[in-house]
Structure 1
Amino acid sequence: MTKIDEIAAAIELRAYDRFEVRRESNFSSDEHSGDVSPIVLSLRRKGRETGSRTILVVQARNERESLRKAFMISADARDSLAEPEASDLYMIMSIDGVSDQDAARIETDDRFCRKYVLREGEDALSLLDRSFLVSGQGESQLTVISDPFRVALTSVAEAHPWVRDHVEWWRGSLLSGDGSGELVDRLLETAREGGSYGNP
């Protein structure tokens, strides 16, 4: 089993409870990919008819041309997706011999999609804990980290009293892990209900 096979299997395992996971076989990027062939996974939250996230799992060499091909694959994938799915595109990369510094640089480049690079000594599940597929333990850590977010929302509510009834709903929605399309759907649904905010 290759490294990207391991990562794809970890995604399927981690996503099982929340998402319907499908491996896409009709994605083609022959023009740019060369020897860089992605595993393409589509994740749709269970119980939803629309809105899916696409994950490209790519093995690349730590060479300029190989990395360029990987980035072009993400560009091709984004071009092939309609909104809002195009905004929910992710690429997980296994790069031979990449340094932590170079991995961090690649991850901060959000052209075409959000990127995650497997680090030296990191396993697939640990990598997923840095993504929207965070485990239960990771979600607890995320709650602790997000306390400044609650403070910021409380400050907004103090400045704008009409916000007070909506703070917890907004916080829950923004931290739910929903993609941008799903989040917009929820906000529109609330607007149609006349601004009656409930628990997410």
Structure 2
Amino acid sequence: MDRIDARKLLEEQFARSLALDKYKLIMYTVKTIDLSKDYGFQKTFNAFYRIRRNTEWRECFYGLFECAKKNHFSFEEVINKLYAETGNVEASFTSKMIATIDPDKPIWDQYVLHNLGLELKGKTSQERIKNAVVIYYRIENWFDNYLQTDEAYENIAEFDRWFPNYTWLSSVKKIDYLLWSKR
């Protein structure tokens, strides 16, 4: 019988529970493929980020994703283009696209918003888009400020201690995982 390596087994188990293996696959392939045509990537991305939209929406999303990857679109550009193509205000999926292209950008999700005391408001789509852009910049600013704190350094070091095979993750992504886990 092979040696039982508790540290390695526990790291792998906890990494799987956070889907770090799926995130790694996404991040290692995103720059090398055509996102609009690679259905394997799309399936992995959809599962990881729980995208449950129809085929037409996904075609728009992944076409825009490939274009955004090549042209370095901002959050504001993507949310506006996605709205123009789908009619939906998609702040969360916009941020996931942006953060996949640039892992130093934060994710917008309900847990991040809750933990930072933020809420999307607006009666019209245009108000919601405008407010989403403001909120996303607030999230970015929070990360910029937080990452300069001793607490952030301690949390990143602890993340790296628990997940030594994932030290390559950006500091933003490590803190994002912690915020997502704080429910």
TM-score, structure 2 as length reference: 0.28
| Greater relative contact order, per chain length (Cα 8 Å cut-off, separation 6+) | 2
Structure with greater Cα Rg:
1
Select the structure that is richer in strand. 1
Structure 1 or 2: more helix by fraction: 2
